Structure 1
Amino acid sequence: MTVLQQEVRKLTVPPKPRQPKRKIISLVITAVVVAAHVFAWNTTGMSVTAFAEGWQGMVDFIGEAFPPNLSWEVLKPSLEGARTTLWIGLLGTTLSVPASLVLALLATRGMAPGYVYQSARSVLSFLRAVPEIVFALVFVTAVGLGPFPGVLALVCHNVGVMGKLWAESIEDVDPGPATALRSAGAGRIQVASHALLPMVTPQMTGLLMYRFDVNVRSSLVLGLVGAGGIGFLINQSIRTFKFDEMLTHIIVVLVLIIAVDRLSALVRARLS
């Protein structure tokens, strides 16, 4: 054994330094989270007792809904409403693609001047912050009842969400090809079309299919405010106390959502 090996064996592992500050910070964060939940519980009026007392009302409501009314007079408009809901979700997704793509590129670092980048980010944040149902209420007052305001509402909100997701996907790609094109004198449009977009097209398509799935679900809620689709039929059934018809519409919605979910998952799996 060499002298160096003997010296190494004599060395002891230094004790792990204590980090009292980290423990204090963890305790403070835990206390803040617990206090926030207590405050939220009290503010929202959460009550296990009230839920237990209202259980009988829920049982009565479900009892009045069974069995579902599967007569053709109810099932036919339900299927037509589901078809309208599907078209609202489809158009709300596809019509938002051009604006989403433009804003996503402008909201990507290095693809636009600083003030343009910040403006694009602000527009996406605004469109994403306003719920679809608020857009639907605005467009219902502008163009009237029906599927059209539902499509417009989904387009506006989906531009904000999908533009943000696409911008983050573009920023996460390997910067090597884009840097090489810029060094060769390529412009921003050339860099985007030849270096960035080809690398993220599968991921962007997967996100688009995910948003289609979400938009079909969202279009159900939009029907409650007069934007058409099967959600409007569900609202009508509840207002007229025809709970058996309501259950029929819900069953049709369940089948529609499962079909769209399976289609979206299949497409995303093929792209991955």
Structure 2
Amino acid sequence: MSAVIERTVQRLPVPRRRRSPRTIITAGLITAALVALHAAAWIDTDMDLGMLAEGRHGMARFVAEAFPPDFAWDPVVRSGLEACLVTLWIGLLGTTLSIPFTIVLCALGSRATSSNAAVYQIARGIMSFLRAVPDVVFALIFVTAVGLGPFAGVLALVCNNTGVMGKLWSEAMEEIDDGPAQALRLAGAGRVQLIAHAVLPAAVPQLIGLALYRLDVNVRASLVLGLVGAGGIGFLINQSIQEFRFDEMLTYILMVLALVVAVDVLSSVIRRRLTP
């Protein structure tokens, strides 16, 4: 009996999915719009594969001059290691020093903890502004205030990271179970008690994971900030390019690669340990 049923089931034709003319027209319009947008973007960005092919000789010469990398201890490797350490400190301080400001903003800009619509919108607006301004722009502003060096890079990352992490943390707080918070509200708990004893404890693993992710991003961002005078190994890369010392540049890039991989591995290990 079961064999008969199996043969019958196997012979049943798969029903064809019916698509209404309206759905087909909508899909066609969306496809045409995407094609038109990409065509406009291709034209306005001066995309030219032929120009890229013509410039292959310049790229080949650039790569040939970068190999082999310069592994001379003094001054290349030693200064590169010191600059890598500065780059790591910039990313670390830019992440950790932004946490107090992030907590305040996400407490005011999260629906799980803020009941005042005006305060909520103001907090979200501040976070949007800090996210919208690139960290490089913040670095240029702070360089004019405190001069060249890592301090400007730390301040730039604190501003930008507060906006980015504030958005991520506020959304994480909105996704937690609302049961403990409701129980505390019924017991007469205030807003600070609600945040400290219900919202933050429930969201701590996710918040720490997001902070570690931002640390990884900020270490890489601090490299770019060094190109505009905010210190770290990015400054050495920019200097070696300006002096046409491409072998030194390649050495510094390899150091950056090792630093980014190390931070990424460490962050992944910590996140796995935090995952229940």
Q: TM-score range by the shorter chain?
A: over 0.9
Using the alignment, how far apart are the partners of 2:189 and 2:247 within structure 1? 63
Aligned to 2:106: 104
Q: What is the 5 A alignment of 1:54-133?
A: 54-73=55-74, 74-112=76-114, 113-133=116-136
Q: Which residue of 2 aligns with 1:7?
A: none
Instruction: Select 2:189's aligned residue among 161, 165, 186.
Output: 186
Separation in 2, partners of 1:41, 1:16: 36
Number of aligned positions between the proteins: 258
Is 1:37 matched with 2:14?
no
Match of residue 50 from structure 1: 51
Tell me by how many angstroms 1:242 deviates. 0.6
Q: Distance in 2 between matches of 1:16 and 1:258?
A: 47
1:229 maps to 232
Match of 1:197 among 192, 196, 200: 200
Q: Distance in 2 between matches of 1:68 and 1:92?
A: 31
Structure 2 regions of 5+ residues with no counterpart? 1-15
Note closer, same or farther for the CA distance 1:250–1:17 as it changes in structure 2 (3 Å cut).
Answer: closer
CA contact (8 A) 2:102 2:162 kept: yes
Give the deviation of 1:20 after TM superposition: 2.2
Residue identity matched to 2:234 = G
CA contact (8 A) 2:112 2:174 kept: no
Name the CA shift for 1:60/1:176 in 2 (closer, same or farther; >3 Å): same
Paired letter, 2:220: R
Distance 2:28 2:92 in 1: 48
Task: Give per-residue Cα distances to partners, 1:47-77, cap 9 Å, x unaligned.
Answer: 1101111011100000001111100121110
2:139–2:152 Cα contact (<8 Å) kept: yes
* Match of residue 27 from structure 1: 28
Query: CA RMSD for the aligned pairs?
Result: 1.2
For the pair 1:157 / 2:155, whether they are aligned, the reply is no
Q: 1:173 aligns with which of 161, 171, 176?
A: 176
**Residue type matched to 1:269 in 2?**
R
Change in CA separation of 1:80 and 1:178 when aligned onto 2, cut-off 3 Å: same
Structure 1: which 5+ runs fail to align? Answer: 1-14
**1:3 corresponds to:** none
Q: Which moved more, 1:184-193 or 1:215-224?
A: 184-193
For the residues of structure 2 that align with 1:19 and 1:192, how far apart are their CA atoms? Answer: 50
Separation in structure 2 between the aligned mates of residue 239 and residue 109 of structure 1, nearest angstrom: 50
Measured against aligned partners, the alpha-carbon deviations of 1:170-203 in whole angstroms (never above 9, x if no partner) come to: 0011111111111221111111111111111000
Partner of 2:148: 145
Bigger mean CA offset, 198-207 vs 109-118: 109-118
Q: CA deviation at 1:110?
A: 4.8
Q: What do residues 136-167 of structure 1 show as CA deviations (whole Å, max 9, x unaligned)?
A: 00000111000000000000000000000000
Q: Structure 1 residues 201, 102: CA separation in 2 closer, same or farther (over 3 Å shift)?
A: same
Q: Larger deviation: 83-92 or 172-181?
A: 172-181
Partner of 2:7: none
State the one-letter code of the partner of 2:224: V
Task: Work out the CA distance in 1 between the residues paired with 2:195 and 2:21.
Answer: 49
Cα separation, 2, equivalents of 1:239 and 1:16: 61
TM-score (structure 2 length as normaliser): 0.91
Task: Write out aligned runs for 1:209-228 (5 A).
Answer: 209-228=212-231
**Normalising to structure 1: TM-score of the pair?**
0.93
